[in-house]
Chains A and B, each alone.
Chain A
């Protein structure tokens, strides 16, 4: 009797809007998540597979990581990627921070069109930006190589950094600056000790985002790279075109782990400082 009552009460409590408890909802979500994860998980799993044919599981091995590590072209490509991403991050973080701060702080004429213009690199199809950059470098007679890649990466990273900085500054209490002025601090002191100090986590997050964007970019890099300036994704692309091997899987896994680690760090920095 009491058991029946308990069951009845439980059923009463089951909210009809509790879709998460419904079997059909769990099933569709399960299928959705399977669709999202199966390709990547199998790619990672089969980078450890001890078989060249790459389809049935033959046992665990790190052989293909060694092989990818010893592949000197892959090595060079990775180094190129780090150089490009490093320089691009340094420049675009500085410029993007300035832009984000300017947009947060000032009202100025033609602000709407200006904001549209600076955010354009985020919204235009990558292929359009890629071919525009190629046309530009050809017009100014700049040979394609690491420099042209880096210049393009900086251009598309600036608005992303600016967006992150602006989001960070939206939580800033401007009265802190007034307090600082009232207490006799100069404009520069106020900026450095109050505004910039508050911005720091945003700058870190923006820099990590810029680094990931640069490291990951394929389309724009593909068009703005010349002979001898192969980056990591470009090298993976040419390997993929050639054939599907566990070595490609191993190289891909390295890139996946690297970008995920960077992004998660950026998120942690942002969420940890959110409440302050």
Chain B
């Protein structure tokens, strides 16, 4: 690496155009939104520039606080489930024979390269009342009833009622787990892969069972990856917009949808801007904690 002073012309030619683009079309928009977050909304949705914290105060009003709290709750539940699904997956890949590792890893990342919208849409076909899941359940129900009739028991099962799986919070959580699973698997895999396996052998040799080894040796050693992956999954779920929009119902509006609504039907941009910055600050805070944790323990970022 050279100091920029050694070749000022080359530095300027290389750095100025992309910087200019990003400043004009990214930093300035954010700055405008930041200014708007202190503005006041006119009766027709115009923006009156002002210096007031009213929009931020409104964000913590009861009705909005409920949505923020729900977003945190959904993100937390999503992270927990993603971890429960993702950890064994990461472990299975990390301990697989060498030649299987890359193909298996690719298999985890592959769905991640398909369009977010399509991946979410795919769940509608699975979860809706006439979807695959209800179809499968109905089949099981039918067979069980037939079996009961065969052995002469009266039909106690009744008529099959399709489950309402779509357009509620559960559907949102399922969709989020699906979309963000790779973000959790990869960091955990990276730490497990680097882990010194002789510790695990020692634990097993000294008489600890597989469970004990997993809890007392593998998990603590993989903690940096686990924390890193969970935090990533959490902030991504917090800031989601599309998943609740497609899979959620009236009870599952999250902060991203609330922001979007201020810019569309509610026409309250100052309030939307304030909400947007609250979400941004939260994201930065978590990313900062994550980066400093990773920096301290030398784990993956």
Contact = CB atoms under 8 A, between A and B. Distances in A.
B263 interface: yes
Contacts of A123: 283, 287
B88 A28 contact: yes
Contacts of B36: 135
Interface string A6-21: 0000000000111110
B29 A136 contact: yes
B135 interface: yes
Contact of A20 (B100, B123, B128, B242): B100
A53 B115 contact: no
Contacts of B97: 20
Interface in B12-31: 13-15, 17-19, 21-22, 25-30
A99 B15 contact: yes
A237 B124 contact: no
Contacts of B131: 55
Contacts of A40: 111, 114, 118-119, 122
Interface string A116-128: 0110110111111
Given A131-B260, A139-B32, A43 B1 contact: no
A155 B128 contact: no
Contacts of A260: 110, 113-114
A240 B246 contact: yes
Nearest to B123: A39
A162 interface: yes
Contacts of B100: 20
Interface string A123-154: 11111111111111001000000000001101
A135 B262 CA distance: 12
Given A19-B91, A55-B132, A105 B1 contact: yes
Contacts of A29: 88-89, 92
B87 to A, nearest CB: 9
A36 B111 contact: yes
Interface in A238-275: 240, 244, 248-249, 252, 255-256, 259-260, 263
A260 B111 CA distance: 9
Interface of B: 1-4, 7, 10-11, 13-15, 17-19, 21-22, 25-30, 32-33, 36, 85-86, 88-89, 91-92, 95-97, 100, 107-108, 110-111, 113-119, 121-126, 128, 130-132, 135, 178, 181, 197, 200-201, 204, 210, 235-236, 238-242, 246, 256, 259-260, 262-263, 269, 272-273, 276, 279-280, 283, 287
Contact of A127 (B10, B29, B241, B287): B241
A216 interface: yes
Contacts of B124: 240, 244
Contacts of B279: 125, 127-128
Interface residues of A, number: 81
6 closest A-B pairs by beta carbon, nearest first, are A125-B239, A136-B29, A39-B122, A99-B18, A102-B14, A108-B4
A37 interface: yes
A25 B115 contact: no
Contact of B22 (A32, A117, A134, A223): A117
A128 B108 contact: no
A134 B91 contact: no
A17 B201 CA distance: 7
A39 B178 contact: yes
User: In this complex, which of B19, B97, B115, B242 has the most chain A Cβ atoms within 10 angstroms of its Cβ?
Assistant: B115
A106 B10 CA distance: 10
Contacts of B33: 131-132, 135-136
Interface in A58-99: 95-96, 98-99
Contacts of A248: 121
A180 interface: no
B1 A106 contact: yes
A131 B121 contact: no
Contacts of A38: 126, 132
B239 A128 contact: yes
Given A17-B200, A216-B115, A118 B18 contact: yes
Given A125-B235, A129-B29, 9 more contacts: A25-B88, A28-B88, A33-B89, A99-B18, A105-B2, A125-B238, A136-B28, A158-B18, A219-B242
Contact of A19 (B14, B92, B262): B92
Contact of A42 (B88, B113, B126): B126
Contact of A244 (B111, B128, B273): B128
Contacts of B178: 35-36, 39
A148 B219 CA distance: 47
